[in-house]
């Protein structure tokens, strides 16, 4: 039995001519608000206030930032402005000097023996594990042969 797999799932359907449903709602909402202002306020004030609102409606409908709708950028901006911010920094610890660590002038401080210890890198550990596995399997084969 064959099933059809949906394709182009990230492309929204065009419902109102060349517009998607969301674009249509943004344009109708901005235009409706503009008409309401036109009837309620003096015409010059309706143009001054309604112009930016009409531009916002058109921007929400068509403008994209990094291939994402403008509403996502506005939402992120408001969240940044109004959420609490937590700033974390790492406080540097001051080293306390113990009496036995104090050196007198002309005396050389004791060197740290860990400085000369070989470092265990991941490659060395893998090589060691591999060699142990080989030797173990080599001895286990001899025991099985007896």
Top pLDDT among 72 and 106 is at 72
Q: What is the pLDDT of residues 107-143, one digit of tens each?
A: 666 666 666 666 677 788 888 887 777 766 555 555 5
Q: Average pLDDT of the chain?
A: 80
User: Quick one: pLDDT band at residue 98, thresholds 50, 70, 90?
Assistant: low
Q: What is the pLDDT of residue 122?
A: 77
Predicted confidence band of residue 40 (pLDDT cuts 50, 70, 90):
very high
Residue 69: which region, alpha, beta or left (left: phi > 0; alpha: psi -120 to 50)? beta
pTM of this structure: 0.52
What's the pLDDT at 17?
82
**Using 50, 70 and 90 to split pLDDT, how confident is the model at 55?**
very high
Strand partners, 14: 20
Domain ranges of the chain: 14-82
DSSP code of residue 114: G
* Strongest mean pLDDT among 9-23, 27-41, 77-91: 27-41
Confidence of residue 106 (pLDDT cuts 50, 70, 90): low
Write out the H or E segment, with its range, that includes residue 14: strand 14-16
What is the Cα 67 distance to its own chain's centre? 17
Q: What is the pLDDT of residue 62?
A: 92
């Amino acid at each position: 039995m064959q099933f059809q797999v949906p394709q182009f799932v990230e492309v929204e359907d065009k419902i109102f001519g060349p517009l998607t449903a969301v674009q249509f709602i943004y344009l109708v909402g901005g235009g409706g608000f503009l008409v309401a202002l036109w009837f309620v306020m003096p015409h010059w004030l309706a143009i001054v206030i309604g112009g930016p609102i009409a531009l916002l409606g058109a921007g929400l409908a068509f403008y994209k930032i990094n291939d994402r709708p403008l509403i996502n950028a506005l939402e992120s901006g408001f969240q940044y402005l109004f959420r609490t911010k937590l700033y974390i920094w790492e406080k540097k610890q001051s080293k306390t000097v113990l009496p036995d660590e104090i050196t007198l002038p002309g005396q050389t401080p004791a060197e740290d023996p860990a400085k000369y210890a070989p470092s265990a890198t991941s490659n060395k550990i893998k090589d060691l594990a591999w060699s142990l596995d080989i030797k173990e399997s080599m001895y286990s084969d001899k025991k099985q042969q007896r």
